[in-house]
Structure 1
Amino acid sequence: NGAEALAAQMAATGVLVEVNLTSNDVILEVSGKNHPYAWLRQRGVPVSLSTDDAGILRIDLSHEYARAAGEGASYADLKRSARNAIAFSFLAGEGLWSDPNVYRRPTKACAGQLGAAEPKPGPCADLVARSDKAREQWRHERLLREFEKARK
């Protein structure tokens, strides 16, 4: 059908959908199984959790992540959402990942280095120094590594 074709095209071309679970519930009365968040994830469409009315609804991004978990999102889904928020952002420069929304292949310059405190001198360090996006992704990957290490 048309929705399936559109989702496939969005997944193939990397069109991100920002998902506002609480706002969609309060304003549009769309929530739970009626919300397309899980449907989009299942089809490989890049998604990122966000808040669009934080001041009005009195919520923050942590609330949206907790809500997503309550609606069945796994840790891997939440991690991908956070990574997508940076990878698909308007931050200037090249990112650290060759495969945004999948996150299995870092760029050649940074292969084997993600999660370290600092990149090794050379191409990866140069990328992180010149790219706002790569610098934020580097910080995020380091914090993820620390968080996951502490959880074990």
Structure 2
Amino acid sequence: MSHDRIVSPVEQLYANHHGWLQGWLHRRLGHRADAEDLAHDTFIRVLRSEHDARELRQPMAFLATIANGLLINRWRRQAIERAYLEALAARPVAQEPSPEDRCLTIETLLQLDSLLIGLSTKVRHIFFLSQLDGLTYPQIAAQLSLSVAQVQRAMGKAFSVCYASRFE
């Protein structure tokens, strides 16, 4: 009696392209364990996606697109964490936050970053100078060689995105 198991389209996609994807990621990251993690995360996204793996005409391009998005998110997260840790290093040791507070702050910064991603770099920078560094609009204007009105308009854009997200 034969026990032939039917292989799902995603399993077939995995069998055909996992090795290639892992190599592709390893070349970009330079670290095998990170490449393995991101390859795994890529196939998790495939499982959760609405795309039917049987209908993919260019499966490698599809996987590369998902993996590239994960890479960009990873690099963005690392940049935010680095900036936060640099800001912490500049503070007196007595003001050192707990590990839990550090984790919560980084998660909040990541959420803010993804929320504001549609805004220009300048608007995001102005928003962070105001909300994280506590600079006043005139201080931001002086630092960036802008008018106070330009800073106000930028903050209006950023606040409208934040406000709109509360009702989505």
> By the TM > 0.5 criterion, same fold?
no
Q: Which has the larger radius of gyration?
A: 2
Higher normalized contact order (CA 8 Å, seq sep 6+, divided by chain length): 1
More helix by share: 2
TM-score by length of 2: 0.28
